[in-house]
Amino acid sequence: MDVTSSAQGRARARGRNPRGQGERLREDVVSAALRLLDELADDQALSLRAVAREVGIAATSVYIHFADRDALVLAALERCHHDLVRAVDEAEATSADPVGKLRARTRLLGAWAQQHPGLYKVLHESTLNRRADMSFREEMGERTTAAVQRCMDAGLAPAGDAATVSLDLRTAVHGAVSMRVNMPDLPLPPLDEQVERFLAKLVGVA
């Protein structure tokens, strides 16, 4: 896909935001950054000028809301993470029992990473992780730990340290996803099959 030409087309089609809609413009900029990050899979390859073209505004308008590229990428990733947390909550709600909820959230996370490999790489593998506070990501781990604890409390998994079990499970899932993202030609079983084995061997659910 020619990102530049498609962005220029959108720029010509878009008019100015009315006065007083600065927050809307900010959200438009964040949305554009997310689309480009998913395509580029590299926050260092993102330019504020490209984001401005994607939205259809002058590059100077981006600087009104974000001091630099890192600030924009961080805001985009935080929005991405919050949207993902909400999607996981909705996936959990489709199941009534604790094991089903844990399975649903784990599968959803794996499926999202496969659908958005670029965002996955930036969220988990970019150098921004070493330069910026991304503690907002801790919420996902805390929710997984709570889901594991519910399985233990219901007697559906062996009692133990839920935080340690949760960390083992998340490590396994991230490894499985990372291999698919970074080594797409590697012959791997369906991710859902691996998730079932992770739940059985690491969490101990039947």
If you search the block for the tokens 């061997």, which residue do you land on? 201
- Going by the DSSP 8-state scheme, the letter that residue 18 receives in this structure is P
Mention every residue, 6+ apart, whose C-beta is less than 8 A from residue 62.
Answer: 29, 48, 51, 52, 55, 72
pLDDT category of residue 22 using cuts at 50, 70 and 90: confident
- Which residue from 16, 55, 62, 10 is spatially nearest to 32, judged by alpha carbons? 55
DSSP string for residues in 37-55: HHHH--GGG--HHHHHHHH
pLDDT category of residue 10 using cuts at 50, 70 and 90: very low
- Which residue from 15, 9, 7 is spatially nearest to 32, judged by alpha carbons? 7
Q: Write out pLDDT tens, residues 41-71.
A: 999 999 999 999 999 999 999 999 999 999 9
Q: Is residue 30 scored above 90 in pLDDT?
A: yes
Domain layout of the chain by residue ranges = 3-66, 77-203
* Torsions phi, psi for 106 (to 5 deg): -70, -40
The CATH superfamily assigned to 77-203 is Tetracycline Repressor, domain 2 (1.10.357.10)
> Within 56-115, where are the H helices?
59-65, 69-92, 98-115
Half-sphere exposure of 68 (CA within 13 A, CB side): 5
Which listed CATH number (3.30.160, 3.30.200, 3.40.50, 1.10.10) goes with 3-66?
1.10.10
Residue 129 is predicted with a pLDDT of: 86
pLDDT category of residue 86 using cuts at 50, 70 and 90: very high
Helix/strand/coil (H/E/C) assignment for every residue in 104-130: HHHHHHHHHHHHCHHHHHHHHHCCHHH
Q: Write out pLDDT tens, residues 96-152.
A: 999 999 999 999 999 999 899 999 999 999 989 888 999 999 999 999 999 999 999
69 three-class SS: helix
Residue 40 is predicted with a pLDDT of: 96
CA dist 105 and 32 (Å) reads 27
142 three-class SS: helix
Q: Tell me the mean pLDDT in the region 31-41.
A: 97
Q: What is the pTM of this model?
A: 0.84
* H helix count then E strand count, the chain: 11, 0
Q: Write out pLDDT tens, residues 144-187.
A: 999 999 999 999 999 999 999 999 999 999 999 999 999 989 99
